[in-house]
Structure 1
Amino acid sequence: MIRIENISKSNSHRILYIEASAALNRGEKIGLVGPNGAGKTTLFRMITGQELPDEGQVSVEKHVSIGYFSQDVGEMEGRSAVTEVMDGAGPVSSVAAELRELEAAMVDPDRLDEMDEIIERYGEVQARYEELDGYGLESRAREVLAGLSFSQEMMDGDVGKLSGGWKMRVALARILLMRPDVMLLDEPSNHLDIESLIWLEQFLKGYDGALLMTSHDREFMNRIVNKIIEIDAGSLTTFSGDYGFYEQQRAQNEKQQQAQFERQQAMLAKEIKFIERFKARASHAAQVQSRVKKLDKIERVEPPRRRQTVMFEFQPAPRSGEDVVNLKNVDKAYGSRTIYKDFSFLIRRKERWCVMGVNGAGKSTLLKLVAGAANPDVGSVTIGASVKVGYFAQHAMDLLDGDLTVFEWLEQEFPRAGQGPLRTLAGCFGFSGDDVEKKCRVLSGGEKARLVMAAMLFDPPNFLILDEPTNHLDLDTKEMLIKALADYEGTMLFVSHDRHFLGALSNRVLELNGDDVHQYPGGYMEYVAQSGHEAPGLAS
């Protein structure tokens, strides 16, 4: 369906592709992986014709429809979310728009003299709408939006009043409703809660078209893709299997290549030693010349290209008391909406609580109450002895000084730390080379989140409160964070939609479900086994 043949592409003095080739065939579901800046989005743009390769070609079979979801959703306002989604479904959307105009005209007292023509035209348009299954289209649009956690009120409200994350879901819903021959999905798992993620997994598993997607959620990718295309140093390499298989295969390939490289290096060293030893002796001239010619003809094995992943190690946090935080008989409401009523909850040292709950269940509110960013209406929140709190929330990014560079901000935060440790810290969180000279104001949302987290973990608290800490983190940085937090000796309370993160780090689960509050003594995997579902909003 789509062929990428010997493409080369440069972008702002950076080489992205060198004679790279790959293919996407009917029914294939492919994960596109590579480090940030490797050219994943550029590849999507070349497939859709928004960009052209410098050399080579990207060809798409005739009459193949492509739906492309990107992080740049554009402007949306003035229409309902359901109308916006239906608008992506092709001709039926323009017919639906005319139908709505005619319905408005039929109740307009200023147009009574045109009523016969309006009614006649309404009949024609309605027939065409039925022919295109327009009425079925709206129910399908609502079904997709419901899957992405939209309430009926949000579906019918002005899309312009939604946050950026919800607008992303509207843009994604347009592509899903369209059901094109090929879907190109650039980070569809960003901004989704766990229920929406699991719904999207099921949708994409049942989708019979071809799929090429990127995602920073390994569990999500593992459940959907049957192939991986890796972008590495300008080339495209295809692996059969899911992301887990790709990781194993890549490690095995690197090991084999390293062994080949070492064997060849040993052989070359032996030959060079012979040449150096006997090159001045006339009696060995023929042998020396023969070996020199042999060396010139040997195809050199390159050492494996290893991605630089710097591991981050926590400095030991000071020990806290046994009772870290105690909530007693807490009430909390926003306006007429009650979030907590007579809620009590105790967190003890070294416990790692992940908080599960549907949208609006009070997950972020609980974190704010514990962190002191919100106060209970009734009841008390008591922080224990010697507890040092570190709170990561989205608004924490507002603390960055836009006029400072990344490195200057870190130096301001930690004036006593040396340049070496701060550069290592920056590198662990994706700021290497010239990236540390970027002004904070030009950083993306993901870069800002990484910088705030880096600062919080450099001087570690003994109680971490993390609200969606893995949003915007790429797979390698996320893996580094999980490994670092696995060795962390403090206490944790966190919300995340990343099941790999939840499974790797939790040893307690708090499930919020309206008036129902359940505590599970094991981690996330035990919670799934005991409850029969991966998230509270899903049926067992």
Structure 2
Amino acid sequence: MIRFDSIAKQHGHQILFLEASAVVQRGEKVGLVGPNGAGKSTLFRLVTREEEPDEGQVSIDRGVTVGHFSQDVGEMKGRSAVAETMDGAGPVSAVAAELAELEHALADPARADELEALVERFGHVQARFDELGGYGLEARAREILAGLGFSDAMMDGDVGALSGGWKMRVALARILLMRPDAMLLDEPTNHLDLESIIWLEEFLKGYPGALLMTSHDREFMNRIISKVIEIDGGELNSYSGDYDFYEKERAIADAHQQAQFDRQQAMLKKELAFIERFKARASHAAQVQSRVKKLDKIEKVEPPKVRKTVEFEFRQAPRSGEDVAKLAGVTKGYGARKIYEGFDFLVRRGERWAVMGANGAGKSTLLKLVAGESQPDQGAVTVGASVKMGYFAQHAMELLSPEKTVWETLQDAFPKSSIGSLRTLAGCFGFSGDEIEKQCRVLSGGEKARLVLAQMLYDPPNFLVLDEPTNHLDAATKDMLVRALQGYEGTMLFVSHDRRFLSALSNRVLELTPEGAIPYGGGYREYVARSGHEAPGLRSATKRS
């Protein structure tokens, strides 16, 4: 369906692709992987013809429709979320627009002399609209928006009033409603909560077309894809299987290549030693020449490309008291809406609470109350003896000084630390080489999150309060963070929509429901087994749609 034939593409001095080939077959679900800057978004733009390859060609079967969701959603305002979604439905949206124009024309007295022609055209257009399933279009648009977390009021309100994250969801809904023959999805789970991610999983599993997508959510990829195309050093390598299978196969291939490289290096060392030893002896001249020619003809084995991951090890956090945080009889509301009423909650030392709840259940509010960022209307919030708290929230990234570099930010935070230890810290969180000289104002959302987490975890608190710490992080940084936090000996209270993060790090779950808070002993896996669902909002989401 989509073929990349020996493509080459260069941006400035950076070579992205060199004689790269791959194919996406009809109905295949394919994950596109590669490090940041490898060319994933460029590959999408080559398919949509926004860019052309320097060499080779990208071919798409005749008649195939392609829908592309990217992080650049463009301007949206002046229409409802439903109308904006329906506008992206492909040919049917154009027919719907003509139908609406004809309805206005038929009601216009000034065009009475055209009535016969208008009625005839209206009949043709109406038949085409029905043929394309147009009369069920709004219902399908509302079903998709509901699955992505929209309330009825949000669907019918002006899309211009929505935040950037919700506009992203509208842009995604447009592509899903279009149901093209091939879908290109660039990080579709960014800005989605867990309920919406799980709904999207089910939608894509049932989608009959071809899918090519990127995602930093490993669990999401594993549940959908059956093939991986990897961008590696300008090449496109294909693997049959999910993301976990790809990682295993990649590790095996790297091990084989390393073994081949080591064997060849040992042989070369031996041959070069012989040449060096006997090159001055006339009696061995023929043998030396023979071996020199042999070495010239050998095809050199390259070592596997180093996938550098620097592990982060926590310093020992100071020990806190047994009771780390306590909420007693807490009431909290916004306007007429009560979030908590007479709420009691206790966090003990060594507990790792994952807070679950649908949108608006009060997850972030709970973390703000514990962190002292918000005060209860009634009741008391107390933090225990010897507790040193680290609070990560999305607004923390806005507190970075825009003119300072990454390096200056770390040095200012830890003036007594050695240059070596700070460089190691920067490397752990993905800042190596010249990247430490970047000013904070030019950092991406993911880079800012990494910098804030680096500052927080270098001199670790004994109580971590984390509100969506993996938002914007790539898969490698997420993996590093999970491994680091698995070795952390303090207490945690966190919200996350990443199921790997939830599974690996929780030993308690607090589910916030309209009926009240329900604590679960055991971590996220036990919560799923006991509750029968992966996220509490799924039941209401199912009812809504």
TM-score range, shorter chain: over 0.9
| Partner in structure 2 of residue 77 of structure 1 | 77
The structural deviation recorded for 1:92 is: 2.5
Q: 1:135 and 1:93 mapped to 2: Cα distance?
A: 11
Verify: 1:381 aligned to 2:381, yes or no: yes
| 3-state secondary structure, aligned to 1:67 | strand
For residues 449-484 of structure 1, the C-alpha deviation after alignment (integer angstroms, 9 at most, x for no partner) is 111111111121111111111011111111000000
**Cα pair 2:105 2:111 within 8 Å, conserved:** no
**Shift in CA distance, 274/67, structure 1 to aligned 2, threshold 3 Å:** same
Amino acid at match of 1:16: L
Deviations 1:319-343 (A, max 9, x none): 1111000000111111111111111
CA contact (8 A) 1:326 1:347 kept: yes
Provide the residue aligned with 1:339 in structure 2: 339
1:262 corresponds to which residue? Answer: 262
Match of 2:202 in 1: 202
Paired residues for 1:108-147 under 5 Å: 124=123, 126=126, 128-147=128-147
Q: Do residues 278 (structure 1) and 278 (structure 2) align?
A: yes
The match for 2:405 is 405
Would you say the 8 A contact 1:204–1:224 is kept in 2? yes
Q: Would you say the 8 A contact 2:388–2:463 is kept in 1?
A: yes
Residue type at the aligned position of 1:329: G
Alignment: residue pair count: 537
How far apart, in 1, do the equivalents of 2:226 and 2:296 lie?
42
Q: Is the 8 A contact 1:102 1:118 kept in 2?
A: no
Q: Distance in 2 between matches of 1:217 and 1:424?
A: 26
Q: Which moved more, 1:462-471 or 1:437-446?
A: 437-446
Distance in 1, Cα, partners of 2:375 & 2:103: 50
Shift, 1:116, TM fit? 9.4
Pairing 1:512-527 to 2, within 5 Å after superposition: 512-527=512-527
For residues 257-295 of structure 1, give each alpha carbon's deviation from its aligned partner in whole angstroms, at most 9, with x where no partner exists. Answer: 111111111111111222222222222222222222211
Mapped to 1, the partners of 2:140 and 2:493 lie a distance apart of 38
Alignment of 1:229-308 (within 5 A): 229-308=229-308
2:454 aligned residue: 454
Percent of pairs with identical residues: 71
Q: Which residue of 2 aligns with 1:322?
A: 322
Q: CA deviation at 1:113?
A: 6.4
> Match of 1:89, SS?
coil
- Cα contact 1:159–1:167 (8 A) shared by 2: yes
For residue 97 of structure 1, report the CA deviation from its aligned partner: 3.6
Encode CA deviations 1:380-428: one digit per residue, 9 max, x unaligned. 1000001111111011111111111111122122211222222222222
Cα distance in 1, alignment partners of residues 165 and 422 from structure 2 = 32
Kindly report the root-mean-square deviation, in angstroms, between the aligned alpha carbons of the 2 structures. Answer: 1.9
Question: CA separation in 1, counterparts of 2:273 and 2:110?
Answer: 103
The question of 1:435 aligning with 2:435 is answered yes
Aligned match of 1:416? 416
More displaced 10-residue stretch of structure 1: 290-299 or 520-529:
290-299
1:58-111 CA distances to partner (integer Å, 9 max, x unpaired)?
11111111000000000000000111111011232234345556777899xxx6
**Contact 2:482 2:505 (8 Å CA) reproduced:** yes
Taking structure 1 as reference, are residues 149 and 285 closer, same or farther at Cα in structure 2, changes over 3 Å only? same
- CA–CA distance in structure 2, aligned partners of residues 375 and 102 of structure 1: 57
How many Å separate the matches in 1 of 2:127 and 2:339?
48
Are residues 116 and 356 of structure 1, via their aligned partners in 2, closer, same or farther at CA, if it must alter by over 3 Å? farther
Equivalent position of 2:155 in the other structure: 155
Q: TM-score, normalised by structure 1?
A: 0.96
Question: CA deviation digits over 1:104-127, x for unaligned, max 9?
Answer: 7899xxx66668978965964655
Q: Which residue of structure 2 lines up, in the alignment, with residue 445 of structure 1?
A: 445
Displacement of 1:308 in angstroms is 1.3
Equivalent-residue separation in structure 2 for 1:531 and 1:86 (angstroms): 36
Q: Deviations over 1:235-277 (max 9, x none)?
A: 1111110000011111111111111111111111111222222
Partners of 2:211 and 2:93 lie apart in 1 by 24
* Separation in 1, partners of 2:438, 2:275: 51
Name the structure 2 match of 1:223: 223
Aligned position for 2:500: 500
- Supply the distance in 2 between the matched residues of 1:482 and 1:117 (Cα, whole angstroms): 69
Find the counterpart in structure 1 of residue 166 from structure 2. 166
What residue number does 2:47 align with? Answer: 47
CA contact (8 A) 2:7 2:18 kept: yes
Equivalent residue, structure 1, for 2:65: 65
Determine helix, strand or coil for the equivalent of 1:185.
Answer: strand
Secondary structure at 1:361's aligned position in 2? coil
Answer whether contact 2:429 2:454 (CA < 8 A) is retained.
yes
